[in-house]
Chain A
């Protein structure tokens, strides 16, 4: 798809888009967070300096999931008591959006899913709780309190400066994966699978001193 170009309303630097559906992006020069309104972008904030973190991915990293190529066009960084994790916004070749979670180098790809059944309220969640979805038993394995730490690149929604959010990770016996995101009400449900690094066939990754 052809890259759109526009100019940053704050510093005038050219903005490059990989995705026509981007609702929010960041200017790589002045670190402004820009939100789209119709054809223009408006600055809404500035990205705090991104924390030091060690994800091997970067904006522009490419890979494959379920035989569909994707490119990492944006990310959200969350911080919790054990450190940080990344949610990479993946743009697939068919124009759809997905998310690649990278938490201490354990990876999972998931997609925003609509469910007809009501989802539990955050105070009713506990570790070990089970749900029957799509013929599999999902069990809550982790409950985390996290807060937003930074954004980068193109996102399909507006996201910056959020308060503390509760997340719950669920897993199945066949390596399926789901996340409940309580930043909204009703909560957002993402469903997908745990993946191995090799299975993603990633390229255009960061280089680590001493490892290449």
Chain B
């Protein structure tokens, strides 16, 4: 029966236990960190002491945990590094072993964990727009990064040769939550598939104490917690269509009626400048809006209308008004104009009945008039048309509701692309490509 071999390190004499039975090819003496060849009966030193600083694996070697229904033992640990723009990025790999099922890996970078296994079949080379891609089992994996990975620390046992300093070419392709890696040397290529795993799941599987370390940034194959914006926009489109249907239906079934249209003339310092009342008119139907519109021909002047809609039966008054002012002239930049000649005021929720308007027009005595010397006694006047429309509520409900409906899909889109931007910021590519 294969047993765990207890041996002595030829370098320091310390005891070594091999948990990988006879599959192990290289093992690291935990006392002196020398890398040993374990193929022969007696051990042989391959590499003397590695980097001085010891690294403590988060999963202690010898721990057992269950993944996909199989129990594995963590027997090996590696730290590998790549150099990008004078910065060194390191990640850690744990070799898991089951004497029947074989080997698996757990990788960890910046707190992000992946459960990895080698692929039995070959992915097919493909393209996604301009980027290389691989297709495996119906999923397309887009190229994320190419790197030369260097082993910088080794602990435990491996069924192949490991030593610090050796380099291997790696290419990573993503299809979140999966990561397809190709590691190649001159004589061999190995494909493996990683599945993004929550740190809590790793901690639970191995029964580790404490909380897993915090994750920094977004990892290559980390699944987005946000749904794709397209579905949100589709819902927005349906809601907007429904909004239009509702508003248009209300507009259709609301009777619009021009109940008053009169032309008047205002002249300051004359009886035409005094307050007056309009003839009565009938407002019908359910309580709805009344739009009072004043169209004038004022020129380089400011006018104001104090208005009151009065119910001839109940005496209820809606008191409101409109301000106007219009100026124009010519200067070194050309013709200019400012202000408005017409105004409309909407009175909301007016019940049916017989009504009239009380109108008090006035000109602002203090308003200066450009180019004309101010003379308080000068007669100023203008012509204006008063019109009262029942039932038209204007566009404002749509103009307010539409932006309100826009806010959630815009927020969702910003959140989604911000996340994806962070994901791709770690890649070989500077611009984001949706996958």
Chain A residues engaging chain B, CB cutoff 8 angstroms: 51-54, 56, 81-84, 104-106, 127-128, 139, 141-144, 171-176, 194, 196-198, 205-211
In the assembled complex, B100 has its CB within 8 A of some CB on chain A: yes
Is the Cβ of A105 less than 8 Å from the Cβ of B23? yes
Is the Cβ of A144 less than 8 Å from the Cβ of B187? yes
Chain B residues engaging chain A, CB cutoff 8 angstroms: 1-4, 20-23, 25, 39, 41, 98-103, 118, 120-124, 136, 159-161, 184, 186-190
Is the Cβ of B120 less than 8 Å from the Cβ of A194? yes
Who on chain B is nearest to A207 by CB?
B1
* A143 with B3, Cβ < 8 A, contacts A54-B22, A105-B23 known: no
Give the residues in chain B near A194, CB-CB below 8 Å: 120-121
Who on chain B is nearest to A209 by CB?
B3
Is the Cβ of A209 less than 8 Å from the Cβ of B121? no
Q: Which one of A83, A104, A144, A171 contacts B122 once the chains associate, using CB atoms below 8 Å?
A: A171
Who on chain B is nearest to A105 by CB?
B102
Is the Cβ of A83 less than 8 Å from the Cβ of B21? no
Is the Cβ of A173 less than 8 Å from the Cβ of B124? yes
Is the Cβ of A143 less than 8 Å from the Cβ of B120? no
Cα–Cα distance between A172 and B119 once the two chains are bound (Å): 11
B186 to chain A, nearest CB (A): 7
Cα–Cα distance between A171 and B123 once the two chains are bound (Å): 10
Cα–Cα distance between A143 and B2 once the two chains are bound (Å): 30
Specify the main secondary structure of chain B where it touches its partner.
loop
Cα–Cα distance between A205 and B188 once the two chains are bound (Å): 30
Is the Cβ of A210 less than 8 Å from the Cβ of B101? no
Give the residues in chain B near A143, CB-CB below 8 Å: 187-188
Who on chain A is nearest to B123 by CB?
A173
Give the residues in chain B near A198, CB-CB below 8 Å: 101
Of B39, B187, B188, most buried by chain A (CB within 10 Å of CB) is B187
Count A-B contacts at CB 8 Å.
Answer: 96
Is the Cβ of A197 less than 8 Å from the Cβ of B102? yes
Give the residues in chain A near B123, CB-CB below 8 Å: 173
Q: Which one of A51, A54, A205 contacts B21 once the chains associate, using CB atoms below 8 Å?
A: A54
* A54 with B121, Cβ < 8 A, contacts A207-B1, A209-B2 known: no
Is the Cβ of A208 less than 8 Å from the Cβ of B118? no
Is the Cβ of A83 less than 8 Å from the Cβ of B100? no
Give the residues in chain A near B3, CB-CB below 8 Å: 209
Give the residues in chain A near B161, CB-CB below 8 Å: 81-82
Is the Cβ of A105 less than 8 Å from the Cβ of B4? no
Cα–Cα distance between A209 and B3 once the two chains are bound (Å): 5
Cα–Cα distance between A26 and B21 once the two chains are bound (Å): 25
Is the Cβ of A83 less than 8 Å from the Cβ of B25? yes
* A209 with B23, Cβ < 8 A, contacts A105-B100, A105-B103, A142-B187 known: no
A40 to chain B, nearest CB (A): 35
Shortest Cβ-Cβ A-B pairs, 3 listed = A105-B102, A52-B22, A175-B121
Q: Which one of B100, B103, B122, B160 contacts A173 once the chains associate, using CB atoms below 8 Å?
A: B122
Residue pairs across A and B with Cβ atoms less than 8 A apart, 27 shown, are A51-B39, A52-B2, A52-B22, A53-B22, A53-B23, A54-B21, A54-B22, A82-B161, A83-B39, A104-B102, A104-B103, A104-B159, A105-B23, A127-B187, A141-B122, A141-B190, A171-B122, A173-B122, A173-B123, A175-B120, A194-B121, A197-B100, A197-B101, A198-B101, A205-B100, A209-B1, A211-B99
